[in-house]
Structure 1
């Protein structure tokens, strides 16, 4: 295979030629991409000024194809851009008709968009809506949480949500499906004191629903817990024949955890322990298991001693 040998002068000329060619191509690309073009992007719709007396349901998806005017550079990087600000559509005209013409709102839409890339057309240009009577319903609020407490600390009382019920308005068929409304997840760690904070409600995903209020106050009482031991009497139940029954022992010892603030108030009157005589009569038990039938809220039983009691029936 023949090898072409170039002189130093020829190599310099060839190098200069390719350099000029590359520069020319780059200049052409830069000039071309600096021109203005129309290209299509997907845009998400949000709504404002929804009718207060009419519940509506959009008959098309919440995304549209927007024709945008921009440079070639903007067109190339449009696919790599972060999620843009949604297009906000004014629904004020739905008070007396069932459609909205988007081209009539382009000026207002572009005010909220990047001025270097104005939207010149939207497909579809007209949005249609289905209407039904607007109803109002009150539903309870459900707290969603992920709470982690410091050692020996825990919830010491009922969690308070203010307001505990919120108002939801929308189509009747949709409201039938709504039994409660959840909050955003409240995440707190290393808790050692009462929580008093505001939590957002989960956002509305449908444009034809309204929720009020948008936030609720959450109070979670927290206290340090410690152990306490009491002796309580055992109550005999289901003594249908009124037999003379003696139980041994007559009192059992319970160990439980309670909050420090309620420690002095924890007395034997708040607990109840029972033994069922039917277990002897129907099943032949020779000793009766003790069952705690009443325990104060937010108390945790650690130990019950003894767990079974003996008994004697006098004839």
Structure 2
């Protein structure tokens, strides 16, 4: 393959040529991108001044195609940054109509925009809404959690949610199906102390449903747990005989409880039973022990013995 050898003068001329070509290309790109051109982007709509006495439901998606008159640089940076802000649409005309014409609001929409680019059209230009009677309803908050506690720690009391109820407003038919409102999932790991935090409510997926407030305070008591053992008397059920003796008369239960409640845990808080009908109807020779009352936030580890003997004197 032949190799072209250039003299020093030819190399200088070739370098000047490519330099001029690069400058010309850059100048052409700069000039082209500086010229005003229309371009289209997709924008999300948000609403203000919604009717207070009419529940509404949008009959089209909450995004529109917006044609903007700006420079090529603005178009380029809008694609790169992708930081467009939602368009705010005024719904005050819905008090008397079931539609909103966006072209009639272009002036105020452009006034609220940052930068020099201007919206020249929106597609679709008219938004249509469906209406129904409006109802306000209070429903309890349902706290959604995914909490992993540190070893030997657990929830030690009732969860408190403030406020416990939220106000939901919307169409009558839709609110009939709403009995509670869930929060976002509260996910925490390695917890070893009481949780006191704010949790957002799940946002409404329907434009005609409003929820207030949008967040609640959640208090989850957390404590360290330890084991404790007590002896509990066994109560005999369905005893129709004059003299029945059970052996043993008490069972030993081992359970876990929080350290703060440990001193208060006594046998009066528990109740153990054995059912004599199991012998009479099913022929049991020993009766299984069943705990029918256990304090909240206590976990039974074992019951000894699990079955008791009995003697009936006729």
Q: What is the TM-score normalised by the length of structure 1? A: 0.92
> Residues 67 and 121 of structure 1 are in contact (CA less than 8 Å); yes or no, is this contact kept in structure 2?
yes
Separation in 2, partners of 1:109, 1:284: 84
Separation in 1, partners of 2:4, 2:188: 76
Cα distance 1:2–1:211, how it changes in 2: closer, same or farther (>3 A)? closer
What is the match of residue 13 of structure 1? 13
Write the mapping of 1:193-272 to structure 2, written as runs, cut at 5 A. Answer: 193-239=193-239, 241-242=240-241, 244-272=243-271
Separation in 2, partners of 1:109, 1:187: 39
> Residues 241 and 312 of structure 2 are in contact (CA less than 8 Å); yes or no, is this contact kept in structure 1?
no
Write the mapping of 1:130-169 to structure 2, written as runs, cut at 5 A. Answer: 130-169=130-169
Write the mapping of 1:34-113 to structure 2, written as runs, cut at 5 A. Answer: 34-113=34-113
Separation in 2, partners of 1:163, 1:5: 85
How many matched pairs? Answer: 314
Partner of 1:50, secondary structure, is coil
Task: Note the C-alpha offset of 1:102.
Answer: 1.3
Comparing 49-58 with 74-83, greater Cα deviation is found at 74-83
Separation in 1, partners of 2:14, 2:127: 61
What is the match of residue 188 of structure 1? 188
Partner of 1:252, secondary structure, is strand
Separation in 1, partners of 2:238, 2:74: 84
Separation in 1, partners of 2:197, 2:27: 60
Task: Note the C-alpha offset of 1:4.
Answer: 6.2
> Residues 274 and 289 of structure 2 are in contact (CA less than 8 Å); yes or no, is this contact kept in structure 1?
yes
> Residues 138 and 166 of structure 2 are in contact (CA less than 8 Å); yes or no, is this contact kept in structure 1?
yes
Comparing 199-208 with 56-65, greater Cα deviation is found at 199-208
Task: Note the C-alpha offset of 1:254.
Answer: 0.7
Separation in 2, partners of 1:212, 1:7: 81
> Residues 78 and 84 of structure 2 are in contact (CA less than 8 Å); yes or no, is this contact kept in structure 1?
no
Separation in 2, partners of 1:152, 1:277: 38
Partner of 1:103, secondary structure, is helix
> Residues 169 and 211 of structure 1 are in contact (CA less than 8 Å); yes or no, is this contact kept in structure 2?
yes
Superposed CA deviations along residues 97-116 of structure 1, whole A, max 9, x for unmatched, are 11112122223222332323
> Residues 44 and 64 of structure 1 are in contact (CA less than 8 Å); yes or no, is this contact kept in structure 2?
yes
- Give the root-mean-square deviation of aligned CA atoms: 2.1
Comparing 71-80 with 302-311, greater Cα deviation is found at 71-80
Separation in 1, partners of 2:112, 2:310: 83
Write the mapping of 1:16-35 to structure 2, written as runs, cut at 5 A. Answer: 16-35=16-35
Partner of 1:225, secondary structure, is strand
Could you tell me which runs of 5 or more consecutive residues in structure 2 were left unpaired when the two chains were aligned.
none
Could you tell me which runs of 5 or more consecutive residues in structure 1 were left unpaired when the two chains were aligned.
none
Superposed CA deviations along residues 106-132 of structure 1, whole A, max 9, x for unmatched, are 232223323232222111111111111
> Residues 160 and 219 of structure 1 are in contact (CA less than 8 Å); yes or no, is this contact kept in structure 2?
yes
